[in-house]
Amino acid sequence: MSKSEKVIKGVKFGILSSEMIRKMSVTAIVTPEVYDENGIPIEGGVMDPRLGVIEPGQRCATCGNTLAQCPGHFGHLELAKPVIHIGFVRHIYMLLKATCRSCNRVKVTEEDVARYRSLYRRLKDRWPQLANSLVEFVRQKASKALECPHCGARQFKVKLEKPATFIEEGGRGKLYPDVIKQWLSNIPSSDLEVLGLDPEVARPEWMIINVLPVPPIAVRPSIVLETGMRAEDDLTHKLVDIIRANEKLKEALNSGAPEIIVEDLWELLQYHVMTYIDNELPGVPVAKRRSGMPLKTLAQRLKGKEGRFRGNLSGKRVDFSARTVISPDPNLDINEVGVPYEVAMTLTVPEYVTPWNIDKMREYVLNGPYKWPGANYVVDPSGRRLDLRYVKDLKALAESLKPGYTVERHLVDGDVALFNRQPSLHRMSIMAHRVRVLPGKTFRLHLAVCPPYNADFDGDEMNLHAPQTVEARAEAEELLLVEKQILSPRYGGPIIGGIQDYISGGYLLTLKSTLLTKEQVSDLLATIDYSGEIPEPAVLSPVEAWTGKQIFSLLLPEDFNFIGETKLSSGSLKCTSEECFWDTLLIVKKGKVLAGVVDKTVIGSQQPKSLMHYLITEKGVGRGAEFMNKAFKLFLRYIEMVGFTMTLDDIKPERGALERAGKVIKSSYGEVDKLIDMYRAGQLEPVPGRTLSETLEIRILDVLARARDESGATVIEYMGLANPVYVMARTGARGSNLNITQMSAVLGQQSVRGERIWRGYMGRVLPHYKPGDLSPEARGFIASSFYRGLSPLEVFFHAAGGREGLVDTAVRTSQSGYMQRRLINALQDLYVEYDMSVRSSYGELVQFRYGEDAVDPRKTAFGKAVDVDRIIVKNVGWRMSL
Amino acid sequence: MNGGKKSTSIREKILEHELVPKHVLLTKEEALKVLRELGVRPEQLPWIRASDPIARLLGAKPGDIIRVERRSATAGVSVAYRFVVVG
C-alpha cells in the first residue's frame, strides 16, 4: 500500500501524443511472432515479458515487482504509415472543413478570431452551454468561407467517405492520413481554441496515429486451456494482425512497390487499427475469430450492459450474499427471515473478541466451520487469517483467543441481514430482516411482507446480504428494518399488512356470530403467547363463551379509538350508524371492538386511513409490528380451527338466478340485433368523431358489458355470507365480483386491442360463422361461465383474449423497466438540502421546496398539518357525521 | 393594465390567462436577497429565456431574476425563481 495521500482535484481527458506514447513505452514491438518453438514469449513480440508479469512468482522484467504489485507496462508499435483514429474522424472532418487548405488557419478573419477567443474564455467556465454554441457558430462560419481570409487561397469542399476516407473535391482528391496529419499539425494553437479544442491536451495531429500504444499483458491475458493449448485474448490477436499488416506495408515501401499495392496495404492497416479500436463500426466488415465469433475489441469492452461501465463500475458482484428460492412461513415475525443452515454456515460476520464475548467466541471456534453455530475464519491481531477448515487443533486455537482477535462466525439468530427481490423498483425492495436459522433449503419470510417485495412462492428467488461492519448493521437496523418500512412514502399508508387468509380469518373471528368456548379461547391466546387476564365471558350460560371481537380486542392498546366503515359496508350491507344490523361499521372504543368486523379496509395492506394505519402512526411502528405478528397468527389459528375452503358447489349458480341471468343475456342479444339492423339500415346515429361501424362496435360493447354486469349481479345476489367465495370477494381477501361473475354467470366479451375479436377469415373469425356476422357470439362474446364450461368456439375466443394479456405483460415490463432506468439515472443524484430545497449535485435548484410543501407523506395526514376528523375520533371515540 | 378592462392585445392577454402563473421581475436588491437566502449563484436557478413571451412582457434582460408564484395542489402557493438568460 502506498503511504502518500493525494487528493484528486479533477479529471481531464486528452489525446496521447506520439511522443507521449513513445515515452511511456518500455519497448518497441517489432515482430508478429509471439512465442518461440519452446513456447517462451519472444522479446519484441506482443507478449514481451517487459510488458508485465503474467505468472505468479515471477518478477517483472521492467519494474522488478511480483504479479500482485506490477501494474503492467505499455509497449509501442511504430506504424510504417500513419492511420486515422476512428474515434476522431468527426473532429478531423470538422477541422478540415473549418481550416484553410493552404495556410491551415481557421477561415475566420484575424480580428474575429481574437474576438471569439476572448468571448469563449469568458463563457467557458460559467456558461459552458453558451460556449458550446459559440464554438458551433465559429465552426459553421469558418466552414462556409470559399476563400481563406488569411492567405486568400481558394477552398475546396472536403467530403468524408465513411468510415475514414477524406476526399477534397476538385482539389487534391483523396487526402491521405500523412497529408492530413501535416495539415492538422500546421493549425496554430490559438486558432484551435475558438474551434473548441484544448491544444494543451488535444492537438489535432494526435488524432492521426503513427505510433500505436501496445497495452500491457494484464489487459489481455492469455488463458491456458485444459488441453495445454494457449488461447490468446482478442486484443492480442488483433495486435498481431496490425503488426503483420504493418510489416507488409513496410516491406512494400522499402522495396519501392507500385503505388496501388502500397495503397492497398495501407488501407488494410487502416482497417486493422480501426477494428482494433471499435469492431462494430457501420460500413466496416467486422473482424472475426476463426470460429466466426466477432472479436471483442476496445470499444466492445466498454460499451453496453455487460461493458466496463455498466457491468463492472456501476454494478459489481458482491461477497457475503446468498440466493435461493423463497417460501412462506406464517410462524415467523414480520421482521424475520428464515435462513437455511447451509447458508448460515457460509455467510459470516466478523466479530471482535472482547472480554465479554470471549466465551461465546471460543465456543464458535470450537464448533469449527462444519457445525452451526461455528466460525469459518479467525483473524489474529497481526491480521493473519486462519482458515478453520485447515486448523487441526481447534481446541488449542480456541484457548489462544484473546481480545484483539476477530472471529468470522456463522450467521446466528438475531443477526441483521439485507433481503432483496429484483426488480428493485422501490426502496422497500431491499429491507433488513432479523435472521432465524432454520432447517430446509429455502429462505422463509412472513406473508405480510410479500406486497413490498411483490413476491409470491411460485418459484421466486431472493438475495440475502450479510452486512460486515458495525456501522452497516446499525444503519440496516435503524433505517431498513421491515417494521420501519411499513409506511410507504408513495401514499403514506401501510404497504405491509393483512392479505388473503389473514383477512378471511380476521372476518370470521370478529363475526357477530362467533362464540368461543374456554378451550378455544385458550388455544387462540396460546398461539400468540398471551399472558394477561382472560376477559369476562360475553355469555355466561349455558356455557361460558367469548366473542371473537373480545379476543381481537386484547391486541389493541387500551387507549385506542377507531371508527370506520369496513369493505363489507356497501350495497345491501351498508352501515352508516352505530345501530346497524349488518355489523359492517367497525367501532373501537378504548381498545375494545364494540361493533363491526375486521376486513381489508381495517387490516389490509396498502390501505391508508385504516385501523392499522392509525395504530402505526399513533403508537409507533414497533407496536404496529407487534400487532401484526400477533393478530395475523391469531387469525390463521382461528381459520384453521373453523376450516375455510371453497368447492365447486360454491360457485354453482342458483337455479332461479341462472334463469334470470340467461334472460338478461338474451335480451341484450336482442338489443344488439336491433343495433345491427339499425346500422344496416343506416339509421344509427354516429358518436361524434367516430365512423358508423366504430359507433356500432362501441354501442355493442357497451350493451354486452352491461349485460354481463347485470347477470353477474343477479347471480351474486343469491349468494350469502355463508358462501366462502362470496366472503372472500366481499371482505377483500381474494377475488372480486367480476371473478365470481365469470365463474358462475357469464365470461363476457373477449377482446383483442380493446375491440371485439374480428381477425381471421374474410369477414369472420372462424369458418363456423357466416361472413359479415356481427352477432355477439360470432365476435367473441362468451355466454358460458367457467362453471358451465366453454364450447370449443368459446375456448378459441378465450385463448385469443388470454394471449393478448400475456404479450402485454411481456412488452410492458421491458418498456417500463427501461423508462424506470432512464428516470432513476436522471434523478439519482438529487437530494433534499437542509433548507428543504431539492438540489442537484452541482448545487442547482430543482425544486425550491421539496414537493412544493416540503412534506414527507409518511409523517403527515395526507399533506395536511392536522387531521381534525382523526383527532376527534382518537380522543372522543366518536365522530359526529360519517 | 388598463384599469380592470379586458385588454385586447395578445401580449397582455398572456398575463390574464389562468394557466399563466404570476411572474414578477425582481429589483437588484430583491434579487441579491433571494440569492443570499438560497445560497446559490444566479445560474444555479432554473433558467428562462429572455425571448420567452412572459419575460419579454416584463421587459426582463439577461441577468435578471423573475419570481414565479404558482398555484400548487400540495402547498397552495409555491414560489420559484428563474434566472433570465440570453436567447
pLDDT in tens, A657-692: 888 888 999 999 999 999 898 888 888 888 899 888
pLDDT for A821-838, tens place per residue? 899 889 999 999 999 999
Check A853 against B75: CB less than 8 A apart.
yes
Q: Chain B residue with minimal CA distance to A839?
A: B44
- In percent, the amount of chain A with pLDDT more than 90 equals 49
pLDDT-based confidence at A370, cuts 50/70/90? Answer: very high
Check B72 against A844: CB less than 8 A apart.
no
Query: Which residues 6+ apart lie within 8 Å of A620 measured at CB?
Result: none
Q: Using DSSP, how many helices (H) and how many strands (E) does chain B show?
A: 3, 4
Q: Which residue in B41, B46, B74 is closest to A852 by CB distance?
A: B74
> How many CA atoms, within 13 angstroms, populate the side-chain half-sphere of residue A856?
6
**Any idea which residue has 456558461 for its cell?**
A127
Query: Which residues 6+ apart lie within 8 Å of A640 measured at CB?
Result: none
DSSP 8-state assignment for residue A65 = -
Per-residue confidence (pLDDT) for residue B1, from 0 to 100: 43
Å between B58 CA and nearest CA of chain A: 22
Check A848 against B74: CB less than 8 A apart.
no
> How many CA atoms, within 13 angstroms, populate the side-chain half-sphere of residue A90?
1
Using CA atoms, how far residue A234 sits from A215, A238, A251, A281, in Å, is 13, 6, 26, 17
Query: Which residues 6+ apart lie within 8 Å of A133 measured at CB?
Result: none
pLDDT (mean) for A777-783: 91
Write the DSSP assignment of A486-551 as a string of letters. SB-TTTSSBSS-B-THHHHHHHHHH-TT-EE-HHHHHHHHHHTT--SPPPPPSB-SSS-BEEHHHH
Asked if B68 has any chain A CB less than 8 Å from its own CB, the reply is no
Per-residue confidence (pLDDT) for residue A424, from 0 to 100: 87
Per-residue confidence (pLDDT) for residue A3, from 0 to 100: 64
Check B44 against A863: CB less than 8 A apart.
no
- At residue A277, what is the residue type? I
Q: Which three cell numbers stand for residue A609?
A: 386511513
pLDDT at A273 over 80: yes
Report chain A residues whose CB lies below 8 A from the CB of B39: 835
B71: number of Cβ within 10 Å: 13
pLDDT (mean) for A732-753: 91
Using CA atoms, how far residue A791 sits from A536, A767, A771, in Å, is 59, 15, 20
**Residues A164 and A89: beta-carbon distance below 8 Å:** yes
Query: Which residues 6+ apart lie within 8 Å of A607 measured at CB?
Result: A493, A494, A497, A600, A601, A613
CA B51 from centre of chain:
13
Per-residue confidence (pLDDT) for residue A609, from 0 to 100: 84
Q: Chain B residue with minimal CA distance to A847?
A: B80
DSSP 8-state assignment for residue A130 = H
pLDDT for A571-620, tens place per residue? 778 777 777 888 888 888 888 888 888 989 888 888 888 888 889 988 98
Check A852 against B72: CB less than 8 A apart.
yes
CA A258 from centre of chain:
60
Report chain A residues whose CB lies below 8 A from the CB of B79: 848
Task: Establish, for the pair of chains A and B, how many residue pairs have beta carbons separated by less than 8 Å.
Answer: 40
What's phi and psi for A132, nearest 5 deg?
Answer: -65, -40
Q: Which residue in A845, A851, A855 is closest to B45 by CB distance?
A: A845
Report chain A residues whose CB lies below 8 A from the CB of B81: 845, 848
Pick from A844, A846, A850, A855 the residue to mutate for testing the B interface (most B CBs within 10 Å). Answer: A844
**Residues A107 and A98: beta-carbon distance below 8 Å:** yes
Q: Chain B residue with minimal CA distance to A841?
A: B44
A96: number of Cβ within 10 Å: 21
Report chain B residues whose CB lies below 8 A from the CB of A846: 46
Q: Which three cell numbers stand for residue A258?
A: 507500385
Q: Which residue in B40, B72, B75 is closest to A845 by CB distance?
A: B40
Q: Which residue in B38, B41, B86 is closest to A837 by CB distance?
A: B38
Check A853 against B86: CB less than 8 A apart.
no
Per-residue confidence (pLDDT) for residue A606, from 0 to 100: 84
Å between A853 CA and nearest CA of chain B: 5
Q: Which three cell numbers stand for residue A571?
A: 350495497
Report chain A residues whose CB lies below 8 A from the CB of B46: 845-846
Å between B46 CA and nearest CA of chain A: 7
pTM over 0.90: no
Distance from C-alpha of A113 to C-alpha of A107, rounded to nearest angstrom? 9
Asked if B69 has any chain A CB less than 8 Å from its own CB, the reply is no
Query: Which residues 6+ apart lie within 8 Å of A722 measured at CB?
Result: none
Distance from C-alpha of A39 to C-alpha of A53, rounded to nearest angstrom? 16
Pick from B36, B67, B74 the residue to mutate for testing the A interface (most A CBs within 10 Å). Answer: B74
Query: Which residues 6+ apart lie within 8 Å of A382 measured at CB?
Result: none
Using CA atoms, how far residue A111 sits from A114, A117, A150, A191, A562, in Å, is 5, 10, 11, 12, 81
Burial of A222 (0-12, 13-18, 19+ CB in 10 A): middle
A764: number of Cβ within 10 Å: 16
pLDDT (mean) for A273-293: 88
Please tell me whether the peptide bond between A423 and the residue prior to it is cis, using omega within 30 degrees of 0: yes
Task: Please enumerate residues of A whose Cβ is less than 8 A from a Cβ of B.
Answer: 126-127, 130, 835, 837, 842-846, 848-849, 851-853, 855, 863
Q: Chain A residue with minimal CA distance to B72?
A: A852
Q: Which three cell numbers stand for residue A484?
A: 420501519
Å between A833 CA and nearest CA of chain B: 10
Å between A822 CA and nearest CA of chain B: 21
Per-residue confidence (pLDDT) for residue A878, from 0 to 100: 65
Indicate the pairing of strand A443-445 with strand A321-328.
parallel
Per-residue confidence (pLDDT) for residue A48, from 0 to 100: 87
Question: Of A214, A290, A249, which Cα lies nearest the Cα of A48?
Answer: A214
Report chain A residues whose CB lies below 8 A from the CB of B45: 844-845
What SS3 class is residue A401?
Answer: coil
Per-residue confidence (pLDDT) for residue A590, from 0 to 100: 85
What SS3 class is residue A742?
Answer: helix
Residue A461's DSSP bridge partners are: A325
Distance from C-alpha of A331 to C-alpha of A609, rounded to nearest angstrom? 27
Check A848 against B75: CB less than 8 A apart.
no
Check A848 against B81: CB less than 8 A apart.
yes
Length of chain A: 882
CA A687 from centre of chain:
44
Q: Which helix (H) or strand (E) holds A158?
A: strand A157-161
Report chain B residues whose CB lies below 8 A from the CB of A126: 43
Q: Chain B residue with minimal CA distance to A844?
A: B44
What SS3 class is residue A75?
Answer: strand
**Residues A163 and A282: beta-carbon distance below 8 Å:** yes
Check B46 against A849: CB less than 8 A apart.
no
Write the DSSP assignment of A445-501 as a string of letters. E-GGGHHHHT--SSS-EEEEE---SHHHHHHIIIIIBGGGGSB-TTTSSBSS-B-TH
Q: Which three cell numbers stand for residue A60?
A: 517483472
Check B75 against A130: CB less than 8 A apart.
no
Length of chain B: 87
Asked if B81 has any chain A CB less than 8 Å from its own CB, the reply is yes
Check B74 against A837: CB less than 8 A apart.
no
pLDDT for A714-723, tens place per residue? 888 888 888 9
Check A849 against B38: CB less than 8 A apart.
no
Check B78 against A853: CB less than 8 A apart.
yes
Check B81 against A852: CB less than 8 A apart.
no
Per-residue confidence (pLDDT) for residue A882, from 0 to 100: 47
**Residues A586 and A614: beta-carbon distance below 8 Å:** no
Q: Give the end-to-end CA distance of chain A in Å, rounded to a whole number.
A: 71
Asked if B79 has any chain A CB less than 8 Å from its own CB, the reply is yes
Per-residue confidence (pLDDT) for residue B66, from 0 to 100: 94
pLDDT (mean) for A139-143: 90
pLDDT for A425-460, tens place per residue? 889 999 999 999 999 999 999 999 999 999 999 999
CA A881 from centre of chain:
46
CA A412 from centre of chain:
30
pLDDT for A523-578, tens place per residue? 999 999 998 888 999 898 899 999 999 999 999 998 888 888 888 888 778 777 77
Per-residue confidence (pLDDT) for residue B3, from 0 to 100: 46
Can you list the alpha helix ranges (DSSP code H) found in A6-109?
A: 18-24, 89-98
Asked if B51 has any chain A CB less than 8 Å from its own CB, the reply is no
